[in-house]
């Protein structure tokens, strides 16, 4: 009994892999195009209010500005100070802010009235680090005079003073789980933890480079420091043990911050990139580019706003789009299925049969394509013509038909008894696809067969001669590209050989090319079509 004719399987080729953004990267690209505000000097500090509406505090030179979210308007400006202002921070309730100054004076200001409530004098050099404690009546500060101090706001007196480091202190952070613990980072490469209940250092860690930023995780068990072009993660519970180190920047990392739910870590660097890491394994998940070196950065508690301060005085404000409050919900309408309608005919098609139901399967006849019908009746000439008609864009299907004809040894039968006009469609297909590396293995022998069978008609038809010239030019261009790639490969091998340490003498294996392949390559290089 003869078996049914099987449809021609379509040959599958690997598709060109396009560079696409990951799902995480797309989420970070949902932020709108940044609004740039230009100042006259570099931005040294950026901080969001911990409470709504998440206003942003930016310091530059002697100016302190507060930006409103979404509108990007400057709602408060304080420029009463005649000296440079550093390290401005909000209090946890968002009602007060603290700033450091060039002279070392720490000022506490009211956010709404901009009135100076306290002048805390004790530092002798510029103060770059200021923080409110978890208890609203404490202020921690660290200065270039290498000291760390704690201030009592009601009395304006120092409650803790210690000579902390041997170099400038440019970073610090309070422990979110304790009101008595403060951590400082200095240019002497050291990170030190201080407890107000003891004048001696509670814990010390060596980062290995001048420290630009130090932050605590929300649970207080991890400390993250940045210095140089790498980031260190320290396990506080294990006594300051180095937990992890990673680097994805090319220049010094100047700022670190967590997103609102502490699942992502952001780092800003002088290489003009903001990198986003997954806090579970510290893998890089997203990247944001900026036009200038980044000095300060922060993200709001709801992860809807990112503000970046740059060295040229530019302030980049980015926001996610507001979600509509009264968003329309598409609800499925209930239709009454009437007899005789299409919905009535297809009803219950998704119903599953019961255990004892008798299933009667419908028999459908397989519909063959035009090429399959010709192949079934061994009409190879017509099968090739029907897939090469004008407007047929399915290259893979044409390749499948050519492969099937080659398997049946019927290529000569399909190509014979043709004139110059009937060969034009075949020549166009060869010119268009012979350069593709996926199709070259199949099309090169076919092109050789066509030229062998119909070399005698060259010069008799202008269109056919034009296609021969195009095919010759395409092959020559591919050969030139191949030669350039081989030269590049040789240069790369020399570079790799120079940079590889020769510690172990291993025998080198030389792979000699096949003589037949060399001869065939020389013959292909010398091919040229002479059209009179």
Average pLDDT, the chain: 83
Concatenated DSSP letters of 162-196 = EE--SS-EEEEEE-TT-SSEEEEEETTSEEEEEET
Of the chain, the percentage scoring pLDDT greater than 70 comes to 86
Residue ranges of the chain with per-residue pLDDT less than 50: 1, 324-332, 390-391, 503-532
pLDDT in tens, 507-526: 444 444 444 443 444 443 34
The superfamily (CATH) of domain 24-320 is YVTN repeat-like/Quinoprotein amine dehydrogenase (2.130.10.10)
**What pairs with residue 256 in β-bridges?**
267
pLDDT at residue 337 in the model: 75
In the three-class reduction of DSSP (H, G, I as helix; E, B as strand; rest coil), residue 462 is classed as: helix
Which pLDDT score is estimated for 392?
A: 53
**Which residues are CB-contacts of 260 (< 8 A; sequence separation ≥ 6)?**
299, 300, 301, 302, 303
Q: Which residue has the tokens 């190509």?
A: 415
Beta-sheet pairing, 273-278 with 264-269: antiparallel
Structure confidence at residue 91 (pLDDT): 92
Burial 160-192, CB ≥16 within 10 A → b, else e: bebebbeebbbbbbbbbeeebbbbbbbbbbbbb
The two tokens of residue 313 are 């005085």
Q: Which residue, among 189, 253, 265, has the nearest Cα to 226 in the 3D structure?
A: 253
Residue (of 201, 130, 129) closest to 168 by Cα position = 129
- Report the pLDDT value the prediction gives residue 502, as an integer from 0 to 100: 53
The rounded distance, in Å, linking the Cα atoms of 280 and 267 is 16
Looking at residue 147, its pLDDT comes to 93
Specify the long-range contacts of residues 200-203, CB closer than 8 Å, at least 24 apart: 201/164, 203/236, 203/239, 203/240
Cα(355)–Cα(463) distance, integer angstroms = 68
Tell me the domain boundaries of the chain: 24-320, 370-488
Q: Which of 317, 318, 289, 313 is nearest to 59 (CA)?
A: 313
Q: Rounded to whole angstroms, how far apart are CA atoms 410 and 118?
A: 96
């Amino acid at each position: 009994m003869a078996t049914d004719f099987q449809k021609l399987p379509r040959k599958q080729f690997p598709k060109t892999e396009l560079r696409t953004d990951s799902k995480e990267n797309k989420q970070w690209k949902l932020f709108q195009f940044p609004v740039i505000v230009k100042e006259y000097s570099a931005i040294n500090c950026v901080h969001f209010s911990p409470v709504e509406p998440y206003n942003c505090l930016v310091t530059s030179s002697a100016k302190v500005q507060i930006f409103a979210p979404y509108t990007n308007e400057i709602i408060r400006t304080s420029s009463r100070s005649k000296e440079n202002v550093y390290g401005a921070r909000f209090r946890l309730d968002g009602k007060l802010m603290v700033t450091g100054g060039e002279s070392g004076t720490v000022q506490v200001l009211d956010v709404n009235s901009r009135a100076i409530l306290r002048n805390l004098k004790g530092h002798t050099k510029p103060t770059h680090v200021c923080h409110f404690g978890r208890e609203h009546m404490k202020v921690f500060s660290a200065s270039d005079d290498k000291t760390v101090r704690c201030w009592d706001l009601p009395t304006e007196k120092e409650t803790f003073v210690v000579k902390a480091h041997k170099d400038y202190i440019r970073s610090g952070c309070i422990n979110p789980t304790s009101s008595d613990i403060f951590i400082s980072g200095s240019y002497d490469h050291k990170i030190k933890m201080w407890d107000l209940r003891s004048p001696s250092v509670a814990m010390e860690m060596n980062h290995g480079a001048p420290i630009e930023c130090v932050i605590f995780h929300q649970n207080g068990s991890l400390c993250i420091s940045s210095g140089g072009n790498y980031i260190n993660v320290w396990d506080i519970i294990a006594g300051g043990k180095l937990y992890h180190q990673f680097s994805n920047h090319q220049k010094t990392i100047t700022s670190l911050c967590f997103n609102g739910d502490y699942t992502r870590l952001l780092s800003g660097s002088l290489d003009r990139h903001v990198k986003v890491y997954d806090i579970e394994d510290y893998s890089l998940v997203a990247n944001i580019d900026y036009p200038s070196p980044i000095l300060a950065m922060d993200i709001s508690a709801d992860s809807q706003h990112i503000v970046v301060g740059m060295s040229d005085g530019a302030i980049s404000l980015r926001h996610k789009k507001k979600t509509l409050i009264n968003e329309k919900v598409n609800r499925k309408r209930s239709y009454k299925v009437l007899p005789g309608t299409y919905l009535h005919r297809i009803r219950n098609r998704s119903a599953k049969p019961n255990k004892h139901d008798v299933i009667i399967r419908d028999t459908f006849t397989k519909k063959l394509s035009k090429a399959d019908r010709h192949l079934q009746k061994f009409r190879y000439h017509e099968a090739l013509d029907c897939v090469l008609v004008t407007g047929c864009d399915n290259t893979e299907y044409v390749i499948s038909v050519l492969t099937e004809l080659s398997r049946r040894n019927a290529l000569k039968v399909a190509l014979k008894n043709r004139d110059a006009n009937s060969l034009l469609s075949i020549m166009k297909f060869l010119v268009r696809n012979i350069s593709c590396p996926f199709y070259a293995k199949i099309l090169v022998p076919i092109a050789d067969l066509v030229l062998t069978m119909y070399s005698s008609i060259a010069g008799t038809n202008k269109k056919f001669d034009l296609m021969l010239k195009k095919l010759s030019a395409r092959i020559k261009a591919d050969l030139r590209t191949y030669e350039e790639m081989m030269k590049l490969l040789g240069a790369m091998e020399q570079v790799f050989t120079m940079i590889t340490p020769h510690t172990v003498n291993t025998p080198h294996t030389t792979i000699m090319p096949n003589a037949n392949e060399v001869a065939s390559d020389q013959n292909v290089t010398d091919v040229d079509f002479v059209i009179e």
